[in-house]
Structure 1
Amino acid sequence: MALVVLVGGFYLVARLIVHVASPSLDRKAAELARLQAGAERYGWVPGDDVDGKLAAAGARCFDKDGELRRLLVGEYEGRRIQMAEFVTSSGGRLPTDVFNNLVALELPAGLPELRISHDRVADPALPPLEPVLQTSDTESDAFNQRYYAASLDPRYTSAMLHPRMIEWLLAHPPQDLRLVGNLLVAYTAKPWTVPHTLATVPFLHGIVDRIPPFVLKDFRQEAPPR
């Protein structure tokens, strides 16, 4: 009898939680749907990650493999852009989907990897199988307090993060960035939305505009890494 009462109590509590939480979840889902609507007005159309470069960049950004969903492609000021949700799994026996987003702009050439983020590159627990990105300070204290910049070559980091580039980065809201091959990617641990993309694409465009010509020439990589 006691077991029946206990199970019944758990059932009633569960029903109460669902009853209270459902309206809130419905409102959040409706708001997200509203923020994800209207992409076609900006010329963004469904596309494919034919060469796998965006998925590979997402795996580098979030340090785990994931699945691209809601992949759209378009153009901004003559440069190709891509955007997608990057869905990873979290948990053990009962994994849950984690929705992240990627907004990427194509460069005219492949360049070495560069990471500009709010998190320092962690030291590997075991001897690494590949070279590890090195964190470098810049001459800007304001930048160093907001971001960690890392690449395989501190000279390359310094060449990319010149004063005009740093000024542009600091003039905009903080955003994690990763340059992988010929893709400059802004990545966020939140679902993809139209307003976020509209704000991010001009920001990325300004970064590419400020890459010095000598960097594209001296550090160019003919075959972007996968």
Structure 2
Amino acid sequence: MEAVLFLLIGAGFVAALVVGVWLQRKRHARFREWAAVIGWTYEEVDRSLIDLSRAQPFGVGSNRAATEVLRGTFDSRAAMSFTYAWTTGSGKSRSTHHAHIVALALPTYLPTVEVTPEGLGAKLAKLVGARDLQFESEAFNQAYRVAASDERVGHAILHPRLMERLLQGDALGNAWRIDGTWILSWSVGATDLDRLGSRLQLLAAVVRAIPRHVWLDHGYDPAPTPTL
């Protein structure tokens, strides 16, 4: 009887493994087709992306991986999307986490500005010393936590017009960060193609809203004067 039970358990495990592999292959095929339609490229794995940033959700845990990598252009900028995975804990407390990363390339390096929805995570960050920048819009202060490596730049980028944009329904609840030569956003879970377009649009709106003087201060002119 025990032998039969072990055989059944083993057969169930093998069946689950086969189904899992089939579903993953089907998902990869869907991503390739999606990329081909819009002129992007697709790679199943790219280990170089695990070091894209040192800030959340990067830089913690072990067994870090970047999979389901989509690359192309959006709003005339290099763009990419991928699933970032990492593990925490050990033994029975071991957990695997996933985040969908969406990013647009910037034309020059900018100081870090991180905007995250207010909530438990933001409040915990404040307790360990993270400074939450405050703005004239109380609605914005209640909706978001803002941290910046250069507070002057943070206030310049998050001007009233951009704050108003970030209070619109498609922007609320999204976390994003200007991080060196990228602006990226992250959300819990694996890549969601249905949300990719709207998240790219939000990042592009933020980039377009950055004042010219901020770009100029960091060596880039978004509208150079034509030479005769």
Instruction: Give the TM-score normalised by the residue count of structure 2.
Output: 0.72
CA contact (8 A) 1:83 1:104 kept: yes
- Indicate the residue corresponding to 1:64 in structure 2: 59
- Indicate the residue corresponding to 2:34 in structure 1: 38
CA contact (8 A) 2:46 2:67 kept: no
Count of aligned residue pairs for this structure pair: 196
For 2:183 and 2:143, the matched residues in 1 are separated by 19
Which of 147, 156, 160 is matched with 1:159 structurally? 156
AA aligned opposite 1:122: A
For 1:162 and 1:107, the matched residues in 2 are separated by 19
Larger mean CA deviation between 55-64 and 190-199 belongs to 55-64
Three-state SS of the structure 1 residue aligned to 2:105 is strand
Three-state SS of the structure 2 residue aligned to 1:165 is helix
User: In the superposition, relative to structure 1, how do residues 85 and 92 fare at CA in structure 2: closer, same or farther (>3 Å)?
Assistant: same
- Indicate the residue corresponding to 2:50 in structure 1: 55
For 1:194 and 1:113, the matched residues in 2 are separated by 27
Three-state SS of the structure 2 residue aligned to 1:64 is coil
Name stretches of at least 5 consecutive residues in structure 2 with no aligned partner: 221-228
Three-state SS of the structure 1 residue aligned to 2:200 is helix
For 1:164 and 1:101, the matched residues in 2 are separated by 27
Larger mean CA deviation between 209-218 and 33-42 belongs to 33-42
Specify which structure has the bigger relative contact order, considering alpha-carbon pairs within 8 angstroms and separated by 6 or more residues: 1
Three-state SS of the structure 1 residue aligned to 2:91 is coil
For 1:104 and 1:203, the matched residues in 2 are separated by 11
- Output aligned runs, 1:1-226, within 5 Å: 33=27, 38-46=34-42, 52=48, 54-65=49-60, 66-94=64-92, 95-118=94-117, 119-120=121-122, 122=125, 134-171=131-168, 172-173=170-171, 174-218=173-217, 220=218
CA contact (8 A) 1:86 1:99 kept: yes
Deviation of the 1:205 alpha carbon: 0.8
For 1:197 and 1:35, the matched residues in 2 are separated by 14
For 1:61 and 1:200, the matched residues in 2 are separated by 18
Three-state SS of the structure 2 residue aligned to 1:135 is coil
Three-state SS of the structure 1 residue aligned to 2:56 is helix
Deviation of the 1:133 alpha carbon: 5.3
RMSD: 3.4
Three-state SS of the structure 1 residue aligned to 2:132 is strand
User: In the superposition, relative to structure 1, how do residues 75 and 176 fare at CA in structure 2: closer, same or farther (>3 Å)?
Assistant: same
Name stretches of at least 5 consecutive residues in structure 1 with no aligned partner: 126-131
For 2:132 and 2:88, the matched residues in 1 are separated by 28
For 1:58 and 1:68, the matched residues in 2 are separated by 12
Identity across matched positions, percent: 22
AA aligned opposite 1:117: T
For 1:96 and 1:89, the matched residues in 2 are separated by 5
Three-state SS of the structure 1 residue aligned to 2:90 is coil
